[in-house]
Structure 1
Amino acid sequence: METYQTEQEKFWAGKFGDEYIQRNQEAWLLASNTALFASILKRTNHVQSVIEFGANIGMNIHALKNLLPHAQLNAVEINETAVNELKKIHDLHVHHKSILDFSAPSPYDLVFSKGVLIHIDPQALPHVYQTMYESSRRYICLIEYYNPTPMEIPYRGFSEKMYKRDFAGELMDTYPDLQLIDYGFVYRRDPVFIQGDLTWFLMEKRG
């Protein structure tokens, strides 16, 4: 049996993570993700390699394949059922492991997470920030729930499974050579491209 450092890892690697997959594979999500990443990528240059931390079944990866058809795409995912789906995506390099156990074999032009840091044990965030920073050659994008101060949110009847905070601010405070390039908000009531009230922050290494 796989052993994990945190309760949150066990939660997402197991039955709840499997159930999450069933709720997040609608066609509209691919369209919404494509619109979101088009807005983000237009502020970047020469992105040839990308890694997603917490890719699930690859709904973000599918959007990126359309927008960056020649880029090398990579994914880190903890849930085995999701990994089996990721392996069906042509030319995707999949790392089946926890983000807390991941070490990049080489840096990537763009490192990102979408709705993932919100589910990580807050005590583990400094390690995750370090891993994302060290994995990035140039850009880091965080697409998460924002709050100016850390707070826990009840999540589908569970406690200690979702948190909001200023993830990007904490990352930039830790690594001063990161410069904010752009940011934006996607609204759950958008009449065309629905997302879940996510705020995105695109940062670039300027050291």
Structure 2
Amino acid sequence: MVSNSEFRTEQEYFWAGKFGDEYITRNQGNIFIANNISLFAKILSRTHSIHSLIEFGANIGINLQAIRQLLPQAEISAVEINQKAVEKLQSHHDYHVYHQSVFDFVPERQYELALIKGVLIHISSDMLAKVYELLYQVSNRYICIAEYYNPTPVEITYRGHQGKLFKRDFAGEMLDKFDDLHLLDYGFVYHRDNLFPQDDLTWFLLEKTDYQ
């Protein structure tokens, strides 16, 4: 159980509270799952033998529900800060759910795939290094980053709020930070895609070159 008194950033308060609750209402339904099945089918087709994965900032599990269709036998874990989202995640009894901030998560093991989608864009620059380190340490082979891309860091007003959305080259920064990571594949999904749109999302699949 996460406590608001433990939060260190304004972004944590933002997503744990009312705005995070409202986000759940806007982002659920079968159409989101279908779009994510299309997305993750492309990404996972570039991987081998994914038996375990963890998602950071999983919200109610729209990404994980899509992945479950593609990897029915995989062991799934999720880290989520919002209480209402956690309750939705816990309704999927085969998920291992951690109700805490990504900044407080201490991995007890490694997973074949570490996933973060639409979360790094909401983290302030002074905390990104901690999340990069976590993604690297928790993965024993693959890291998937799916975010808004920009070649240089830029802040965007987010639904009338300042200091809540940032675009940059997250994958490139991880590649620069960790010498044994390499870029396996990447792609873009346009919000006007005729069948399976995403919100102008760029995804990157990274792999450790010395995976065990």
Query: What is the TM-score with the length of structure 2 in the denominator?
Result: 0.96
Question: For residue 129 of structure 1, what is the aligned residue in structure 2?
Answer: 132
Please show how residues 16-165 of structure 1 align to structure 2 within 5 Å. 16-165=19-168
List per-residue Cα deviations over 1:60-105 (Å, max 9, x = no partner).
0100110000000000000000000000013100000000001111
List per-residue Cα deviations over 1:140-188 (Å, max 9, x = no partner).
0000000000000000000000000000000010001001000000000
Distance in 2 separating the partners of 1:16 and 1:200? 25
**Identity rate of aligned residues, in percent?**
57
| Alignment gaps of 5+ in structure 1 | none
| Alignment gaps of 5+ in structure 2 | none
| Cα drift, residue 22 of structure 1 | 0.1
Over aligned residues, Cα RMSD in angstroms?
0.7
List per-residue Cα deviations over 1:26-79 (Å, max 9, x = no partner).
221100000000000000000100100000000001001100000000000000
Question: For residue 10 of structure 1, what is the aligned residue in structure 2?
Answer: 13
- Matched length: 207
Question: For residue 198 of structure 2, what is the aligned residue in structure 1?
Answer: 195
Runs ≥4 residues deviating over 2 A: none
Q: In structure 1, what residue type is equivalent to 2:26?
A: R
Query: What is the TM-score with the length of structure 1 in the denominator?
Result: 0.99
Q: In structure 1, what residue type is equivalent to 2:68?
A: K
**Secondary structure in 2 matching 1:128:** helix
| Cα drift, residue 122 of structure 1 | 1.2
Query: Which residue among 143, 166, 170 is the counterpart of 1:167?
Result: 170
